[in-house]
Amino acid sequence: MNVKILGSGCSACQSMYNDVTRLITRHDWKIDLEYVQDIERIMSYGVMSTPVLVIDEKVVMVGHRGSSKIEQVLRDAFSVQVS
Amino acid sequence: MDQSLAQPSHKPQWQMGALLVVITAAWLAAYNLIQPLADWISYSALNLARGSHLGDAIAFFLYDVPKILLLLSGMIFLISILRTFFSPERTRALLGGKRQGIGNVLASLLGIVTPFCSCSAVPLFIGFVESGIPLGVTFSFLIAAPTINEVAIVMLFGLFGWKVAGLYIVSGLIIAIIAGMVIGRLNLERFVEDFVWKMQASGGVEGEKLAWSDRIQRAWESVKEIVGKVWLYVVVGIAVGAGIHGFVPESALAGIMGKQAWWSVPAAVLLGVPLYSNAAGVIPIVSALMEKGASLGTVLAFMMSVVGLSLPETIILRRVLKPQLIAVFVGTVALAIIITGYMFNFVL
């Protein structure tokens, strides 16, 4: 599974990135994680605020909504992939 | 994956409603208890004399800290609920096709209610201009959104009353409208970095559908986030304010921060620019300064410059704006703030 975090280096973006890396190490998930800071690439997803969580090229979360929300979204994505 | 955007609610509606009622009741009870409690601790438990410097400073601190924190949580909750009805995408749609003038007014008003953080200034700027919203209208939004800051509104309301909080909102709006109109008139499109104009507007994310329980949950999240971020500044700011309140003699500052000192307004604006993250801590100090003779216009100008003209946001915007436009932006806003400061000093 491919996960991207789009952010311009602000504190909310950084904490989303930290949450995701923590979740990946804790659950030993097989995820390719990328932190996208290039503004032209960020804009190509059609978003107007950051941070953004992207799973397999789909925008799934805009704004930092807490670690538990992120975990839930990632789990949902995994279960879709398995089924 | 679309269902994860519209988070399903986990708790039944009535349970959430009951919880809200209980929390509201507890909030009201606490709000009414803090004054007698602060007085009791300072004058009975600690046995300090009423009217003494230390007694007054401690009573002031013990009353203001819980009051401001309660006000912040309550009002930010309400403001956040309101903000779940707005999004940058929706604001962009509302501003589409609006001309200068009416567009500037609308953009400034939407700047208050649209969720915004200065780290999103760049994607928002590009999103606005590439969809054809005029530069001046975009700037009205970018000035109003950080200048009319929810933490500042609540703290002004708590420490100065609704009139000053209202004045702050109105002058923030006027500054955003006028500065945006001036920037629009100057035709500065050539000072926007070239890559911005070459970018293609992509489809955009479809709007979210939120149930009430989602809105409440989100509002609660932002209360935790914002209060968690500013509480320490509030406590330190009020502690310093309480010290000034108890120990600095009346009208000690009238000479340097009063109406007569013409240079105090521009000095306050200059001083405010580097103080971005401390907005929450600055207001209690400023409120104490005012009590000692600083004038309202000077104090408001200082506040506006603290929250509206932030160094970090300017640095972020440098990625899409050439230095000339940055200079015009900062200059226009600073000038508008200075004029507003003088106006208040003159009128009130």
Look at phi and psi of residue B34 and say left if phi exceeds 0, alpha if psi is from -120 to 50, else beta: alpha
Chain A interface includes B49 (CB < 8 A): no
Contacts of residue B190, Cβ cutoff 8 Å, sequence gap at least 6: none
- Residue B141's pLDDT band (boundaries 50, 70, 90)? very high
Say if residues B107 and B76 touch (Cβ distance below 8 Å): no
pLDDT in tens, B245-284: 777 776 666 667 777 777 888 888 887 777 655 567 778 8
Of B1, B202, B205, the CB nearest to A55: B1
Long-range CB contacts (within 8 A, 24+) of B197-201: B197/B129, B197/B130, B199/A40, B199/A43, B199/B126, B199/B130, B200/B130, B201/A46, B201/B127, B201/B130, B201/B131
Domain that holds residue A47: 2-82
Tokens representing B35 are 């004054």
Beta strand pairing call for A32-36 and A58-62: unpaired
Q: Please give the pLDDT value at position B198.
A: 78
pLDDT in tens, B186-205: 988 889 888 888 776 565 56
Residues of B in contact with A55 (CB under 8 A): 1
The chain-wide mean pLDDT, for chain B, equals 83
Q: Please give the pLDDT value at position B201.
A: 59
Chain B interface includes A7 (CB < 8 A): yes
CA distance B74 to B316: 31
User: Could you tell me the pTM of the whole model?
Assistant: 0.82
Identify residue B81 by its one-letter amino acid code.
Answer: I
The CATH number assigned to the domain holding A60 equals: 3.40.30.10
Of B204, B225, B320, the CB nearest to A46: B204
Q: How many A/B residue pairs have CB atoms within 8 Å?
A: 82
Q: Say yes or no: ipTM exceeds 0.90.
A: no
Chain A interface includes B90 (CB < 8 A): no
Chain B interface includes A50 (CB < 8 A): yes
- pLDDT > 70 in chain B, percent: 90
* Closest chain A residue to the Cα of B92, Cα to Cα: A48
Query: What torsion do the CA atoms of B271, B328, B104, B276 make, to the nearest 10 degrees?
Result: -30
Closest CA to B224 of B76, B86, B118, B78: B76
CA distance B285 to B171: 21
In this prediction, residues A26-48 reach a mean pLDDT of 86
pLDDT for A30 beyond 80: yes
CA distance B44 to B37: 10
Tell me: cis bond preceding B249? Omega within 30 of 0 counts: no
Chain A interface includes B320 (CB < 8 A): yes
Query: What torsion do the CA atoms of B281, B282, B283, B285 make, to the nearest 10 degrees?
Result: 100
How many domains does chain A contain in total? 1
